[in-house]
């Protein structure tokens, strides 16, 4: 008999494995995940060995290329980090005493499940390709599989990662687990990788992947009270990741704790021949928390607080959490000084000029001929093309392009494509795009000067406010402002992480740490110090841990 208890990794029990849960039914779709963060969940399989069970749980597993993947863990790898008292979901153990039984039936492909609101369910057949499964693995997901991770399913996101609340998703917005009991007043989980953060926060998975172009991992992490790590640009291969803005796109990690995020980072980071932008060097070693008695390195660290981030529009609640974060670092023995990033105020317009320009280029492939969705032509256009091949065939092709891109792209994606096409036009290129490129380099130089002055890490709020209502921001420009704190680090390609820090008005708030180039280990060390002082897990209410069930 095999038992998987608190000290061992988690095993996903999928819907098609046979008998349902202890009470004799399969309830919410998240239950087939096996309460994947349950510290007391167990699996009993008299007729299977440990290796056999692992093989069954990985049989015919494929990932889609969309951002957001729920991740479990197998028992043969990573087990060393799962020890009593260290479990990142230890506080919900009393909820999960149910016994699980696995059987011999063939596994359902987990890539055909999509995260909607608070459940993993089958996608609606709104379009013919809603259940699309990629023909090959991305580098990140393949490395997770090689490390023994168990994929649980695809997660909801904004269309082409363009959004800050999953409000631009085909399947509708993801509800923040912290507001699951508010009904019509529910709040967003953030975006674009909002469902990745919601899945981790509600206990559906140990960790999840997302894409961070301008803050799409860190912002939802702050909104949902989890850790959101954006590594250095190029640290994780982008091979298999659908491009939004190629010079900014970075695969990111959402997890309960800094330690959990570091485990996933170590598994998927490294050079890749399929991605020329991937860094050629590997991480030196698996990051481990420093001993509390070893304060030597901590006292040598310097954390900078950029004065330009103190904008008058910041609410008192954000300033209060920021000041508390400074106090926690001082209590940990870290030296805290003022820093200056004078070009930060230009980061937001610079980002949206460059990101939209790159999106205009990257998304040009979706024309109905070479790639992706194709609209149906009306009968008149088709008949005209046949009657006069010289003229009307070209008109019909133009009509196909227009219809395909108008029907296939949502409003926000079309808006950004049009903006990007404009800034790349002959009349606007010098005034907008070329100036934005120069400003981006100045922003990078500001960060470089700051780190060269002896500062190791920068501390800022992750977001300028808490999560907003699902239908609370109709103006796209208001939505852009949610990324004002995270965009500068993205423009500079720097590693950064959002750490859950406090709960105000029953909603979580996060603090962002920005590291020097290629210094993820130092960043994780300071983030771990902040995490220990915040002790955020004691603030998580029961409604969040049970929101997915």
Is the alpha carbon torsion for 136, 142, 145, 150 positive or negative? negative
**Residue ending a domain, choose from 373, 398, 423:** 423
Average pLDDT over residues 155-168: 90
Write down the pLDDT at residue 478. Answer: 76
d(C-alpha 37, C-alpha 178), whole Å = 17
**pLDDT at residue 292 tops 80:** no
Q: How far is CA 57 from the centre of its chain?
A: 24
The crossing angle, in degrees rounded to 10, of helices 520-534 and 316-331 is 100
Average pLDDT over residues 476-489: 88
In percent, the amount of the chain with pLDDT more than 90 equals 52
Confidence of residue 6 (pLDDT cuts 50, 70, 90): very low
d(C-alpha 523, C-alpha 530), whole Å = 11
Write down the pLDDT at residue 384. Answer: 58
Asked if residue 323 is part of any domain, the answer here is no
Confidence of residue 56 (pLDDT cuts 50, 70, 90): very low
Asked if residue 541 is part of any domain, the answer here is yes
Q: Which domain holds residue 406?
A: 363-423
Same domain, 394 and 521: no
Say which residues have a Cβ less than 8 Å from residue 302's Cβ, sequence separation at least 6: 334, 335, 336, 337, 454, 455, 456, 457
Same domain, 237 and 192: yes
- Could you tell me if 189 and 210 are in contact, meaning their C-beta atoms sit under 8 angstroms apart? no
Same domain, 384 and 530: no
The total of structural domains in the chain comes to: 2
Same domain, 465 and 417: no
- What are 64-107's pLDDT values in tens digits? 233 445 665 443 333 332 222 223 333 333 322 222 222 222 33
Q: Which of 3-12, 168-177, 402-411, 502-511 shows the lowest per-residue confidence on average (mean pLDDT)?
A: 3-12
**pLDDT at residue 523 tops 80:** yes
Question: How many Cα atoms sit within 13 Å of 477 on the Cβ side?
Answer: 2
Same domain, 116 and 188: yes
Which residues are designated catalytic?
192, 216
Same domain, 166 and 262: yes
Same domain, 414 and 477: no
d(C-alpha 515, C-alpha 455), whole Å = 9
Average pLDDT over residues 391-408: 81
- What are 293-327's pLDDT values in tens digits? 445 567 789 999 999 999 888 999 999 999 999 99
- Could you tell me if 227 and 256 are in contact, meaning their C-beta atoms sit under 8 angstroms apart? yes
In the block, which residue shows the tokens 């039936």? 105
| Structure tokens belonging to residue 540 | 């998580």
Report the CATH number at residue 260.
3.90.1300.10
Q: Which of 154-158, 286-290, 337-341, 491-495 shows the lowest per-residue confidence on average (mean pLDDT)?
A: 286-290
**Residue ending a domain, choose from 374, 402, 423:** 423
In percent, the amount of the chain with pLDDT more than 70 equals 71
Same domain, 386 and 285: no
Asked if residue 190 is part of any domain, the answer here is yes
Average pLDDT over residues 382-399: 63
Q: Which of 23-27, 334-338, 342-346, 380-384 shows the lowest per-residue confidence on average (mean pLDDT)?
A: 23-27
Asked if residue 77 is part of any domain, the answer here is no
Q: How far is CA 70 from the centre of its chain?
A: 10
Same domain, 417 and 506: no
**Residue ending a domain, choose from 372, 407, 423:** 423
Asked if residue 23 is part of any domain, the answer here is no
Asked if residue 79 is part of any domain, the answer here is no
Same domain, 383 and 496: no
- DSSP for 285-339 reads S---PPPTT--HHHHT-EEEEEGGG--TTS-HHHHHHHHHHHHHHHHTT-EEEEE
Phi, psi of 437, deg, nearest 5: -60, -40
In the block, which residue shows the tokens 């105000």? 504
Asked if residue 316 is part of any domain, the answer here is no
Averaged confidence pLDDT in the chain: 76
**pLDDT at residue 110 tops 70:** no
Same domain, 368 and 415: yes
| Structure tokens belonging to residue 140 | 């990140």
d(C-alpha 69, C-alpha 55), whole Å = 20
Write down the pLDDT at residue 378. Answer: 66
| pTM for the full predicted model | 0.78
Asked if residue 339 is part of any domain, the answer here is no
Q: How far is CA 533 from the centre of its chain?
A: 24
DSSP secondary structure code for residue 450 in this structure:
H
- What are 534-547's pLDDT values in tens digits? 999 888 888 887 77
Same domain, 130 and 267: yes
C-alpha to C-alpha distances, 414 to 168, 243, 364, 418, 421, nearest whole angstrom: 11, 15, 11, 6, 10
Confidence of residue 39 (pLDDT cuts 50, 70, 90): very low
d(C-alpha 426, C-alpha 361), whole Å = 15
Q: Which of 491, 495, 493 is nearest to 519 (CA)?
A: 495
């Amino acid at each position: 008999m095999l038992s998987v208890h608190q000290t061992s990794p988690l095993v996903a029990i999928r819907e098609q494995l046979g008998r349902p849960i202890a009470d004799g039914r399969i309830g919410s779709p998240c239950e087939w995940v096996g309460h994947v963060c349950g510290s007391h969940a167990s699996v009993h399989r008299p007729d299977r060995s440990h290796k056999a069970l692992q093989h069954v749980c990985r049989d015919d597993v494929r990932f889609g290329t969309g951002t957001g993947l729920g991740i479990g863990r197998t028992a043969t790898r990573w087990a060393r980090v799962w020890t009593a008292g260290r479990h990142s979901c230890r506080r919900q153990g009393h909820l999960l005493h149910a016994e699980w039984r696995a059987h011999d039936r063939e596994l359902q492909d987990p890539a055909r499940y999509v995260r909607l609101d608070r459940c993993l369910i089958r996608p609606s057949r709104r379009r013919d390709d809603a259940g699309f499964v990629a023909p090959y693995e991305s580098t990140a997901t393949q490395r997770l599989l090689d490390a023994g991770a168990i994929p649980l399913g695809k997660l909801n996101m904004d269309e082409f990662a363009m959004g800050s609340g999953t409000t631009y998703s085909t399947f509708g917005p993801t509800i923040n687990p912290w507001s699951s009991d508010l009904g019509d007043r529910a709040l967003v989980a953030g975006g674009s990788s909002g469902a990745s953060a919601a899945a981790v926060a509600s206990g559906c998975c140990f960790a999840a992947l997302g894409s961070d172009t301008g803050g799409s991992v860190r912002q939802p992490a702050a909104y949902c009270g989890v850790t959101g790590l954006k590594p250095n640009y190029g640290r994780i291969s982008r091979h298999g990741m659908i491009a939004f803005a190629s010079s900014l796109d970075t695969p990111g990690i959402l997890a309960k704790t800094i330690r959990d995020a570091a485990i996933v980072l170590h598994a998927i980071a490294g050079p890749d021949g399929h991605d020329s932008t991937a860094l050629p060097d590997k991480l030196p070693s698996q990051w481990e928390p420093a001993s509390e008695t070893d304060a030597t390195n901590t006292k040598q660290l310097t954390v900078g607080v950029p004065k330009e981030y103190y904008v008058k529009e910041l609410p008192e609640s954000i300033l209060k959490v920021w000041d508390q974060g400074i106090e926690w670092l001082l209590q940990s023995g870290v030296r805290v000084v003022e820093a200056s990033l004078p070009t930060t105020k230009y980061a937001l317009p610079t980002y949206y000029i460059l990101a939209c320009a790159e999106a205009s280029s990257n998304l040009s492939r979706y024309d109905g001929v070479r790639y992706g969705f194709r609209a149906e032509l009306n009968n008149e256009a088709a008949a005209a093309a046949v009657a006069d091949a010289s003229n009307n065939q070209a008109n019909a092709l133009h009509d196909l392009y227009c219809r395909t891109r108008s029907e296939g792209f949502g409003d926000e994606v079309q808006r950004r494509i049009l903006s990007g096409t404009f800034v790349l036009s002959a009349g606007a290129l010098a005034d907008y795009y070329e100036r934005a490129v120069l400003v981006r380099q100045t922003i990078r130089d500001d960060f470089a000067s700051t780190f060269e002055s002896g500062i190791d890490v920068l501390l800022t709020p992750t977001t300028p406010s808490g999560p907003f209502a699902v239908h609370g921001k109709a103006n796209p420009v208001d939505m852009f402002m949610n990324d004002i704190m995270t965009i500068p680090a993205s423009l500079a390609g720097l590693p950064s992480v959002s750490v859950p820090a406090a709960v105000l008005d029953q909603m979580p708030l996060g603090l962002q740490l920005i590291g020097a180039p290629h210094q993820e280990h130092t960043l994780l060390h300071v983030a771990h110090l902040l995490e220990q002082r915040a002790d955020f897990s004691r603030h998580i209410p029961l409604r969040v841990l049970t929101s997915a069930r």
